[in-house]
Amino acid sequence: MVGRFSRMVVAMTVRMPRWFVGWVSRRYVAGPKLDDAVKVMKRLSKEGACFTIDVLGEDITSMEEATFFLEEYKRVITAISENNFDANLSIKPTAFGLLLDSEIGMDNIEALVSMANEHQMFVRLDMEDHRVTDDTIQVMLDMHEKGLTNVGVVLQARLFRTIEDIQSIAQKLGKDADYRICKGIYLEPEEISHTDRQPIIKATNDCVDAMLDAGAYVGIASHDHPVINHTLEALSKRKMGPNIPDPRPNAGKPRPQKGPGYEFQMLLGVRGPLRRKLCSKGHRTRVYIPYGEKWYEYSIRRLKENPTIGTQVAKAFLMPWTNRP
Ligand code: FDA
């Protein structure tokens, strides 16, 4: 349940001047330009992190905007390659025009995934709300069918359907299945999703188990101790861990530029000490780095979509020891 405090923080923040929102979001967004993301990658590379880059923006209203995203992500691929960063892309299929013109949207996504493939780079399809879950999964399956296996999807544990999606995708893709599992940021209707904290944590842990058992590559995207601790136990039960070749018989060959079957993923600016601790123990840790001119719209939309973020942001500023960058 969303508390009164969270709603109050959101109501206050959306009325604040742009500079204030910019000051708050500075911690979570690299900046407006690709150069800002490059600077953050240079800095965090020294900590042993790898990255995924998100150009901010979704829900576009014209195909010109879709072209902008295609061109900007191409620049990202070039910058990653030139700097030899250990990084991949996170894209929102709707930003490529999928809802406006599905044929051109698919062509745009294919053009990007092909270019990434030429650079041995992976592309993650971020998951938006439940209205586009089927389409997003289908985009990924279509790319695999075209031989572009450098693409994987995000699944949201709060949705009831996810546990079945894990099985059906794994059946279709076998050892090429590569998931990011997260709780899901969108507050979905209770008919189709868990809405309370404990059931969401349990569902996330069940999904981690199901993905590991399916032999898939698993990116665990969470800053929450019960999820991370469960994952560490689940890995140890399966004799998986840092520097151990993936022992699962259904996992296929080692995956170039990936961890031994799994990695931890966290957002820029959130729970840095926890990420560094996992990294120091040898776990592969990936930082999600958003950048772009649309930082203001992004920050406000995220707050409105899920007001619990308001509490987390307030906590990060009022009690910084709970969430150092
Ligand atoms: P929880 O929300 O309980 O957070 C645990 C603690 O982490 C909090 O108490 C707080 O200290 C800190 N924290 C978490 N989020 C914070 C924030 N934004 N600001 C400040 N502190 C924060 N969702 C989705 O629907 N589709 C997607 O494609 C993705 N992609 C994605 C990628 C990556 C790398 C991550 C880490 C997350 C996502 N998410 C996502 C978001 C995800 O679904 C979820 O909403 C958040 O990760 C928060 O859930 P936690 O498991 O971290 O737990």
The 3-state DSSP class for residue 313 equals: helix
The token duo for 325 is 């960058």
- Ligand 1: atom nearest CA of 302 is 18
Report yes or no on 264 lying in a domain.
yes
Report yes or no on 215 lying in a domain.
yes
Task: Let me know: does 179 contact 137? Beta carbons within 8 Å.
Answer: no
The reply to whether ligand 1 has any atom less than 6 angstroms from the CB of 267 is: yes
Report yes or no on 4 lying in a domain.
no
Residue corresponding to tokens 């990255």: 51
The reply to whether ligand 1 has any atom less than 6 angstroms from the CB of 303 is: no
Distance between CA atoms of residues 54 and 322, nearest Å: 25
* H-helix or E-strand spanning residue 75: helix 63-83
pTM attached to this predicted model: 0.93
Report yes or no on 25 lying in a domain.
no
Domain at 187, CATH number: 3.20.20.220
Report yes or no on 89 lying in a domain.
yes
Q: Please write the tens of the pLDDT for every residue from 194-214.
A: 999 999 999 999 999 999 999
Give how many domains the chain has, as a whole number.
1
Task: Let me know: does 241 contact 260? Beta carbons within 8 Å.
Answer: yes
CB atoms under 10 Å from CB of 261, counted, come to 25
The reply to whether ligand 1 has any atom less than 6 angstroms from the CB of 104 is: no
Average pLDDT over every residue of 21-42: 88
* H-helix or E-strand spanning residue 202: helix 197-213
Nearest C-alpha to atom 9 of ligand 1 is from which residue?
312
The token duo for 89 is 């892309």
Report yes or no on 16 lying in a domain.
no
Nearest in space to 108 (alpha carbons), one of 88, 93, 127, 90: 93
Residue 191 CA, ligand 1 centroid: distance in Å: 22
Per-residue pLDDT for 316 more than 70? no
Q: Please write the tens of the pLDDT for every residue from 279-294.
A: 999 999 999 999 998 8
Task: Let me know: does 105 contact 91? Beta carbons within 8 Å.
Answer: no
Using pLDDT thresholds of 50, 70 and 90, give the confidence band for residue 300: confident
Report yes or no on 5 lying in a domain.
no
Structural domain harbouring 69: 30-291
pLDDT of residue 69: 96
The reply to whether ligand 1 has any atom less than 6 angstroms from the CB of 49 is: no
pLDDT of residue 320: 66
The reply to whether ligand 1 has any atom less than 6 angstroms from the CB of 27 is: no
Residue 223 CA, ligand 1 centroid: distance in Å: 6
Report yes or no on 112 lying in a domain.
yes
Distance between CA atoms of residues 97 and 190, nearest Å: 29
Q: Please write the tens of the pLDDT for every residue from 71-125.
A: 999 999 999 999 999 999 999 999 999 999 999 999 999 999 999 999 999 999 9
